[in-house]
Amino acid sequence: MAADPDPATRAELDTVLARAESDPAAAADLADRLAGPLEFGTAGLRGPVRAGPNGMNVAVVTRTTAGVAQWLEAHGHAGALVVVGRDARHGSEAFATAAAEVLTAAGFDVKVFPRPLPTPVLAFAVGRLGAVAGIQITASHNPPADNGYKLYDATGGQIVPPSDGEIERAIEAAPPAAEVPRSPGAEVVDLLDRYLDEVATLPMGAERAVRVAATALHGVGANTLQAAFERAGFTDLHLVAAQAAPDPDFPTVSFPNPEEPGATDLLLALASDVDADLAIALDPDADRCALGVRERDGRWRMLRGDETGVLLGSYILSTVDRTTLPDPLVATTIVSSSMLGEIAKAEGARYAETLTGFKWLVRAGEGLVFAYEEALGLCVNPGFVRDKDGIAAATLAAGLAAQLKAQGRTPLDVLGELAQRHGVHLTDQVSLRVTDLAVRGQLMAKVRATPPARLGGVDVTLEDLLPDADVVRLTGDGVRVVVRPSGTEPKLKAYLQVVADARDAAQERLTALRADVEELLA
């Protein structure tokens, strides 16, 4: 408490301490808050907004930024430009202010955004301004109680090892938060117009007659999406009104992630009501994008991340000017559908698979034109944002939907054609949420020690990706299972894929595979 510069969290911790003397629950709460500092990894920081070193608060952000400043100086970037942005979650404004003031006091040229903006705008600003780093205060699609701290390096992408370890050691060596100097004076900059100008240059075709229903899930994406659509010439946009304004309590969703059951119910209802051609869901910091479509029977559903990935990847490849870029590259991760590789082969393009996370995808190689991960991350614009970008992906998707509508076709028609050409690729996920993180390690050890011989009726072999990643891959004829601990949530995840010539056969095999994997992880 003595080291905390924020009177609000000092008082909060004092209250917990007083209760802990007689209340076992408060004692457990206190122990958890003091269990250790939030781990600084390649995803930066994520944790509940609360007092104590094991939470997101001004003291933790202050010491973290002191460590980042020291790391930048050690790499020869003393006094250089750093950009700081934020979302609209609880604590974001105070945390962004603390980060900017620590960097200013350390002698850096600091620029801050005037208001909460999507994470892709921060990633864009790092590259456009030639910054040596960018900090975005956001917890993306985590629960309402959380906040986070995402760090970009001079490449414009998120940090990768060994940077995370170097920064973590610098944070450990930082003085107590109350002793870290802070100074106001950061320059306010607004690069939104420049970002929107770039989005409007994406290859969207000439058609603009398309009706889109969209939601920002109470995050910061609604205004930017609307502005991007207007700049690109799409005028028939309908927002879910109850979810359009930023609200850190996320009152209409239990979990503000488009992948979660129920999160897009209001969106799909709106799409049906307005007779939309496409539905779009952004996550709260608008770096992820999910698409919804109307089935043949009139019902609406959200596409899986892999469906959206191959849909937009195929389209992007069809638009590449081979005279200026004769050898384009597309990339996805080891847990995503392998169909993108088949599409690339047919188009004469290069294809790469990376470890999970956009920090790896944007480093997949020269000539990158498109990258995606199954968790709704899409980069349709690596030329000006080296990260996933929900705003740009949504705008491009509207252009594709408009072209298809003019031809009397739909995204489902395209997906059907891709399956006919490259085989039916079905994907699924088995996700095990744990309260004790040690359980994840125990289950990974069990799979490594006694791997199954068959899954989904097919003989499989195990490939262990250690030491590069805590991942095991089980593969057989038309079957693939990838198991790994989540990097951002208390989950163990298994990613399933089957490939077959016909959809019925693929679905039957996927059902059997899912049952086997659920038993494996029980």
3-state DSSP helix/strand/coil percent for the chain, to nearest 5? 40, 20, 40
Name the strand (E) or helix (H) holding 229: helix 222-232
> Quick one: CA torsion of 435, 437, 438, 443, rounded to 10 degrees?
90
Distance of alpha carbon 460 from alpha carbon 376, whole angstroms: 28
Residue 148: closest CA among 218, 85, 69: 85
Question: Which residue in the list 92, 140, 337, 338 is annotated as catalytic?
Answer: 140
Q: How many CB atoms lie within 10 A of CB 504?
A: 9
3-state secondary structure of 99: helix
Residue whose pair of structure tokens reads 């414009």 in the numeric block: 156
Strand partners, 377: 288, 373
Tokens of 88: 């609209």
140 catalytic per annotation: yes
Query: 176 phi and psi, to 5 degrees?
Result: -55, 150
B/e letters for 128-162, b = 16+ CB within 10 Å, e = fewer, are: bbebbbbbbbbbbbbebbbbbbbbbbbebbbbbee
Residue 410: closest CA among 246, 300, 329: 300
The alpha carbon of residue 170 and the mean position of all alpha carbons in its chain are separated, in whole angstroms, by: 26
Distance of alpha carbon 292 from alpha carbon 301, whole angstroms: 5
Tokens of 33: 């808050």
Distance of alpha carbon 428 from alpha carbon 504, whole angstroms: 15
Name the strand (E) or helix (H) holding 512: helix 503-520
**Cβ atoms of 430 and 496 closer than 8 Å:** yes
Can you give the length of the chain in residues? 522
Distance of alpha carbon 136 from alpha carbon 96, whole angstroms: 8
Give the CA count within 13 Å in the CB-facing half-sphere of 296.
3
**Cβ atoms of 285 and 118 closer than 8 Å:** yes
Query: 48 phi and psi, to 5 degrees?
Result: -70, 145
Give Cβ neighbours of residue 16 (< 8 Å, ≥ 6 apart).
26, 29, 30, 33, 51
Distance of alpha carbon 226 from alpha carbon 196, whole angstroms: 10
Active site positions, annotated: 140
